[in-house]
Chain A
Amino acid sequence: MRMVWCLLAFGVLELSSIQLHAGAAPAGGNLQVVGEARNKLIPVALEGFTGEVASVLKFDLEVMGCKVVPSADAAFLVRGKADGSVVGALTDKAGNPGFNRRYSGGNLRDQAHALSNDVIQALTGLPGIASTRVLFKMKTGPRAEEVFLSDYDGHKPVALTNDKTLVSAPRWSPDHSKVFYTTWLKRGGIENTTVIQQNMKTGEREVMARYRGLNTGGALSPQGFLAMILSRGGSPDVYVAPPGWKFMEDLKGQNLRRMCVTREEENGVTWSPDGQWLCFATRANGKRMLVKVAAQGGNMIRIPTSGVLNPSEPNWSPDGKSIAFTAAMGGFNVCVVPAQGGAATVVAAGEAPTWAPNSRNLIFTRRGVNKRQLAIVDVPTKQVKILPAFVGSASQPAWGN
Chain B
Amino acid sequence: MRGELYIKAVACAALLGIVGMGCKSNDNAGLTSIPSFAGSGNNPGGGNPNTGPGNGNDTGGLPGGNPNGNGPNTTGTDNGDPNTPLTIPENFQEQRDIFERVHFDYDSSELRPGDKDLVAQVAQHLIQNPQHMMLVEGHCDERGTEEYNLSLGERRALTVAEELVRLGVSADRLGTQSLGEKVPLSETDSKAARAENRRGEFVLFMPMTGVVELPQN
Contacts and interface: CB of A to CB of B under 8 A. Distances in A.
Interface in B135-156: 135, 142-148, 150-152, 154-155
Interface in A327-384: 328, 332, 351-352, 365, 367
Contacts of B57: 298
A268 to B, nearest CB: 5
Interface string A99-140: 000000000000000000000000000000000000000000
B50 interface: yes
Contact of B30 (A203, A294, A365): A203
Q: Which of the listed residues A169, A293, A396 has the most CB atoms from chain B within 10 Å of its own CB?
A: A293
Contact of A265 (B35, B52, B92, B109): B109
Interface residues of B, number: 82
Given A298-B56, A326-B145, A190 B175 contact: yes
Interface stretch (A20-28, A62-70, A78-86, A247-255): A247-255
A213 B162 CA distance: 13
B130 interface: no
B73 A268 contact: no
Contacts of A73: none
Contacts of B46: 233-234
Interface of A: 143, 145, 163-166, 168-169, 182, 185-194, 196, 203-207, 210-214, 216-217, 229, 231-236, 248, 251-268, 281-282, 284-285, 291, 293-294, 296-302, 312-313, 326, 328, 332, 351-352, 365, 367, 395-396
A234 B158 CA distance: 7
A188 B25 contact: yes
Contacts of A256: 49-50
B5 interface: no
B79 interface: yes
A296 B66 CA distance: 11
Contact of B74 (A143, A185, A263): A263
Interface string B87-117: 1111010000000000000000100000000
